Structure 1
Amino acid sequence: MTTPRHEFYETEDKLTLSIFEKGADPEQVKITFEPRKFTYTYGDKSLVLEPLKGQIDTEKSGYTVGKVKIEVRFAKMALGRWGALTGDAPDPLASFPASSAPTSTTVRKQRKNWDGITSEILSQEKEVTSDQDPNAGGDAAVNEFFKKLYADADEDTRRAMMKSYSESGGTTLSTNWDEVKKAPVTVKPPEGSEWKKWAV
């Protein structure tokens, strides 16, 4: 068995391995992914990487057979650069014995995929509508809330909203026409800031 020419590049969350094999038949390419081991065989060529420098997610890892090379994508379980394909660096995600919980220091050393965790939490949470909370969903939801408020309002309320908003430079929004119609609405900048008119 000979070892095929190969090279790799990586990012924090994945590593891409290129195995140079012209015109490889996808049916004949055999690849297996294990958490710390990768095996490739094609004809008389073989490449076994063990132990991998870090643990991989075998479900999210994959490969494509191209005309000049086979591109293998390793999905890293922990964020960070490996610097090499193999190595006996301690596996940060090695499973802990069931009897003992991980200590706080071990947990702190693990690199967590915060984006993945955030997405998971957000997908589990029930979406709050702008009717329940005007701040839900950011600016778009706030705009929707005010559009609905304006659309459902009577003529005086709409007049009050328009007058207070435009005269205060967007710092005040009132729905009380009796109060607003008496005088111009003053600018009320947020606390700690100062209102300045720009020369045009």
Structure 2
Amino acid sequence: MATTPRHEFYETDERLTLSVFDKGANPDEVSIKFTPTSVTYEHGDKKLELDPLMGEIDPEASAYTVGKVKVEIRLAKKTQGRWVYLVRSPESEAKILPSTAAAGSTTANKRQHKNWEKVSDQILKADKEKTLTDDPNAVDSNKAFSELFQHLDEDAKRAMLKSYTESGGTTLSTDWEDVKKGTVPIRPPDGQEWKQWG
């Protein structure tokens, strides 16, 4: 005997997305039939028949995707609006809500046609790297070293390059008298170990 799989839906004015929870469903064995007033889902001993649907759909524009946990069925509505219920019954007959676009409300239209490009630009601007002017704790290390390097004398520049290179980036010194005595040892941070690669 066929069992009815657990299912739920959400909708927009143009489309209703139905999730049928059928974990591990084999895409080759899933059968979904669309008619203007119904949708039928079958897989093994599981069957879900929604007839008559609350509103009419366009079978050609409707589709589905079989996932690991659920099968997502996308129903393209023929008439814009909210169904509220999946199937029609005497109580639900009057429950279809008109489309916000059809209602002609200026505020609804503004909300519906949100400029997502502008929103993403604002987010990206907010996420940009903070400068020292914006945040006193933000430091651009490359810029800081570059500015420091430009204002040093030749011995200090030589000391910086020698200490940084020989220590594998673990030491940075501007004291040429100390650095010129020999190879600058590698000093990894506490709790870390230096390894030579290659």
Relative to the length of structure 1, the TM-score reads: 0.45
Larger radius of gyration: 2
Relative to the length of structure 2, the TM-score reads: 0.45
